[in-house]
Amino acid sequence: MGAWGEKPFENDSALDWLGDLGEVADLRNTLSSVADAVDYLDVDDGSAAIAAAEIVAAAGDGELGRLATDASAWLGQHGKEIVDSDRALAVRAVERVLGSDSELAALWDEGDTDNEWRRDVAGLVARLVAPRAEKPLK
């Protein structure tokens, strides 16, 4: 049985993406490809972008509790390479996932657009646009 929850790492697509994550360039490529997508965005790409954005947010505010264990370990190795422009890119990617041409948004919105996933993603966006913490990574 697959994983399917409203948090960024509570789905198989995000966990598969995380398993393949190598360098910061990989994270940026994921965010860029979603932010710049013009075609219908599939659930796997949307889930990967949300997970990547969560890593970027954690690099900025030090909130590691929402990360999968492997994501925390990855951030411990690469977090210092994440810069403010990555936060802006992450916001663009998340906004694209929230849009009307997104399978992930459509799946979550089947019952109602006022749902836990949308609230969780709104919190993620708020973290991404908030000022970066003085000493973000602990």
| pTM for this prediction | 0.92
Report the half-sphere exposure of 109 (CA within 13 A, side-chain side). 14
Q: What distance separates the 2 farthest-apart alpha carbons in the chain?
A: 41
| 3-state per-residue secondary structure call for 13-33 | HHHHHHHHCCCHHHHHHHHHH
Q: What's the number of CA atoms in the CB half-sphere (13 Å) around residue 40? A: 5
Q: Give the integer Cα–Cα distance in Å for 37 and 130.
A: 25
Q: Is residue 102 predicted with pLDDT exceeding 50? A: yes
d(CA 65, CA 57): 12
Select from 63, 31, 83 the least CA-distant residue to 127. Answer: 63
Task: Please write the tens of the pLDDT for every residue from 29-46.
Answer: 999 999 999 999 999 999
Would you state the pLDDT for residue 135?
56
